[in-house]
Structure 1
Amino acid sequence: MNSPMPTQKPARREASKLRALLRALRNSNVCVLYQTSDLAYLWAENLPDIWVDIWHVGAHDRELMQESTAARLDAAKLLVLETGEPQSVEIAVSHGDQLRWFELSIDCDRDGADTVIGVVTTAVDVTELKRREQVLKTLLREVSHRSKNLLAIIQSIAMQTARFTGTVDDFLFKFRGRVQSLSYSQDLVTDSNWRGAQFRELVRSQMQKYIDVSDPRFTLSGDDPYIFPGAALHIGLAIHELIVNSTSYGALSSGQGTVAISGKLENIGTERMSLLIKWDEKVPGSLRESDLNARFGSAVLERIVPISVNGTSTYNIEDDGVTYSLDVPRSQFDL
């Protein structure tokens, strides 16, 4: 038979329970403090490091924190002493050049006659939680800002597309293609944790729907910096317009034309450093229908994109091909 559990005296059981509770407390970020009815501290367990060197028996809150914070705490504790009702307070305490945040639960202590004789405060360090909340708020603000920018771009695309199309079907075809272009660029930006998109990857993402990037008619060369998010969306849109025009009327509408895209860092090491993006399209014969390309395409390439990236552009349509260059300032990319 199993021998019966030894019977512990009540005092020993209480002492054992107290030791276990204190061990658990020391392994947490919770501090318990006790004050007498005159709000002088009598004892404390598991003090945070910011108070270890300054807390002492008989101390008051004004010795541990800023006067305004201490006054708010005193008011809450006096209310507990007066009404016996618990109070909750959140405080921030300076620690070096940072703030430490605590959530305080304040309750009264009563004697055997049910008279209020002191105040028990449980303080939980919520600094990390506060920091995470701040990071989350910052991220949400950034997402909101970027979403508004993206919606503004889409609205502009819709309006400009409508201006230069004659039928609903034509509008839908062009508008879907341009929104899809934004989607490809946005995917790259999101995958990079909002850093942006590498130039070559940005170009390939726009080209791959229309041509195999290994096709000998297409070459991509030069430097490969990271394009910042806003610039990536607009440069992607410019590449989209060029490739659509090329597959519709130009070099890639036949089996003999070629398209070469390059990115070159200019004025390296100076304040005038920039990324020069070039599109060089060669077409055997003549571009008799090139003047029929979408006028919105020209607006994107010559006005909307350069203005959006604070850069400059040139766009030339000749009988034997198309050249486009976009000079992107250093503020729009990272090496």
Structure 2
Amino acid sequence: MMGASLLSDKSEYKDAVRLRSLLRAIHNSNVFVLYQSADLAYVWAENLPEAWSAQWRVGVYDHELVQEAMLARLAAAKQGVLETGEPTRVEICLPHGEQSRWFELSIDSDRDDAGVIIGVVTTGVDITELKRREQVLKTLLREVSHRSKNLLAIIQSIAMQTARYTETIDGFLAKFRGRVQSLSYSQDLVTDSNWRGARFHELVHSQMQKYIDIGDPRFTLSGADPYIFPGAALHIGLAVHELIVNSAAYGALSNGEGTVTLSGRFENAGTDRMSLCIKWDEKIPGSLKGQNPNARFGSAVLERIVPISVDGTATYRIEQDSVTYALDVPRSHFEL
């Protein structure tokens, strides 16, 4: 009899150590446990977070703890466990101060030695931060989808305009690739800034890199350097691309004597009508090398597509010895 008693004592000791260790592990984690009797009255709880503990007590029911919007979902889950004995999971939200906390609950049945369900065990984990990250991700994905649709619309417009004013497939491909590449350069800057936009000077440099060295004395960039917001950056980049391509092929940058000055200037600073005036001033000694075959599409981009896209206005003038372009961008499309 004494041996049986010692074995019983050892078994009870091991159970006590195991229970103590489990309770310590629970208290050191983000997990909490709730136990309800078969009539769903709460019997005990461990490691309750504040969103639960404020109202919890022995004998309380779910309708006293959970808002009505979440109660039906929780009640149905627990009733299903009582009826089938199959575990289930459910997510609920509880108010906590001025905010809310989200919890994932794993609900299972508790059975006696005869296999009869005598209670419900709920294991909960606070998933509020996970929910917030999911919401941020969803917002970002919606933003990416929106921007992608806008970008595809721009590319479609470029394709149509390029095809309209190009006589051969080879000519179309050459021009279209250049314009899509222009969008790519601008998009890289926008992405690198975490969608904030692109600095005006940096945007210009990105468009120049394929056609002229930044240090070329024939080209001068000066003046204001604000952050251009993403949508406007793509269109302004496209305008700069058209101007540089035309100049490198037919204008001032096609010889060693011409000059180009590109500047940014704030108009009506400090008022509601504040805007960014972007001015391209190209001086060509002698005259242009004949008619510019890009002019018609360039005119459509520079005088209609770009200003409409940035809610601004533009003027574009091609003379025999000069090319000038001015684009006025409202304050809503840039920040200082």
User: TM-score normalised to the size of structure 2?
Assistant: 0.94
Instruction: Give the CA deviation at 1:292.
Output: 4.0
Q: For residues 124-163 of structure 1, what are the structure 2 equivalents within 5 Å?
A: 124-163=125-164
Instruction: Give the CA deviation at 1:87.
Output: 2.4
**Structure 1 stretch 316-325 or stretch 95-104: which is displaced more?**
95-104
Question: Residue 251 of structure 2 contacts residue 289 of structure 2 at CA under 8 Å; is this kept in 1?
Answer: no
| Deviations, residues 72-94 of structure 1 (Å, cap 9, x unaligned) | 32232233223322222221222
1:206 aligned counterpart, secondary structure? helix
Q: What one-letter code is carried by the residue in structure 1 that aligns with 2:35?
A: Y
Question: Residue 288 of structure 2 contacts residue 321 of structure 2 at CA under 8 Å; is this kept in 1?
Answer: yes
Instruction: Give the CA deviation at 1:30.
Output: 1.2
Matched, 1:189 2:190: yes
2:285 aligned counterpart, secondary structure? coil
Instruction: Give the CA deviation at 1:235.
Output: 0.4
Structure 2 Cα separation of the partners of residues 13 and 192 of structure 1: 59
Instruction: Give the CA deviation at 1:108.
Output: 1.4
Where does residue 210 of structure 1 map in the other structure? 211
Q: What one-letter code is carried by the residue in structure 1 that aligns with 2:164?
A: R
Matched, 1:76 2:70: no
Structure 2 Cα separation of the partners of residues 288 and 221 of structure 1: 28
User: TM-score normalised to the size of structure 1?
Assistant: 0.95
Q: For residues 139-288 of structure 1, what are the structure 2 equivalents within 5 Å?
A: 139-288=140-289
Question: Residue 246 of structure 2 contacts residue 292 of structure 2 at CA under 8 Å; is this kept in 1?
Answer: no
1:9 aligned counterpart, secondary structure? helix
Matched, 1:11 2:9: no
2:262 aligned counterpart, secondary structure? strand
| Pairs aligned (count) | 329
| Deviations, residues 6-60 of structure 1 (Å, cap 9, x unaligned) | x981111111111111111112111100011121111000101112221111111
Structure 2 Cα separation of the partners of residues 259 and 281 of structure 1: 4
Where does residue 56 of structure 2 map in the other structure? 55
Structure 2 Cα separation of the partners of residues 68 and 173 of structure 1: 60
Instruction: Give the CA deviation at 1:137.
Output: 1.0
Structure 2 Cα separation of the partners of residues 87 and 322 of structure 1: 72
Instruction: Give the CA deviation at 1:288.
Output: 4.8
1:275 aligned counterpart, secondary structure? strand
Structure 2 Cα separation of the partners of residues 281 and 87 of structure 1: 72
| Deviations, residues 168-189 of structure 1 (Å, cap 9, x unaligned) | 1111111111111111101101
1:292–1:106 Cα change, 3 Å: closer
Question: Residue 227 of structure 2 contacts residue 334 of structure 2 at CA under 8 Å; is this kept in 1?
Answer: yes
Structure 1 Cα separation of the partners of residues 129 and 191 of structure 2: 26
| Deviations, residues 63-112 of structure 1 (Å, cap 9, x unaligned) | 11112422332232233223322222221222233332111111111222
| Deviations, residues 261-319 of structure 1 (Å, cap 9, x unaligned) | 00011111111000000001011111252554431011111111000110000111122
- Runs (5+) with no aligned partner, structure 1: 1-6
Q: What one-letter code is carried by the residue in structure 1 that aligns with 2:114?
A: A
> Cα RMSD between the aligned structures?
1.4
Question: Residue 111 of structure 1 contacts residue 117 of structure 1 at CA under 8 Å; is this kept in 2?
Answer: yes
Question: Residue 62 of structure 1 contacts residue 71 of structure 1 at CA under 8 Å; is this kept in 2?
Answer: no
Question: Residue 164 of structure 1 contacts residue 294 of structure 1 at CA under 8 Å; is this kept in 2?
Answer: no
- Runs (5+) with no aligned partner, structure 2: 1-6
Question: Residue 290 of structure 1 contacts residue 317 of structure 1 at CA under 8 Å; is this kept in 2?
Answer: no
Structure 2 Cα separation of the partners of residues 74 and 165 of structure 1: 68
Where does residue 91 of structure 1 map in the other structure? 92
1:39 aligned counterpart, secondary structure? coil
Q: What one-letter code is carried by the residue in structure 1 that aligns with 2:128?
A: T
1:97–1:290 Cα change, 3 Å: farther
2:326 aligned counterpart, secondary structure? strand
Where does residue 4 of structure 1 map in the other structure? none
Structure 1 Cα separation of the partners of residues 240 and 77 of structure 2: 64
Question: Residue 266 of structure 1 contacts residue 275 of structure 1 at CA under 8 Å; is this kept in 2?
Answer: yes
Q: What one-letter code is carried by the residue in structure 1 that aligns with 2:94?
A: V
Where does residue 26 of structure 1 map in the other structure? 27
1:181–1:71 Cα change, 3 Å: closer
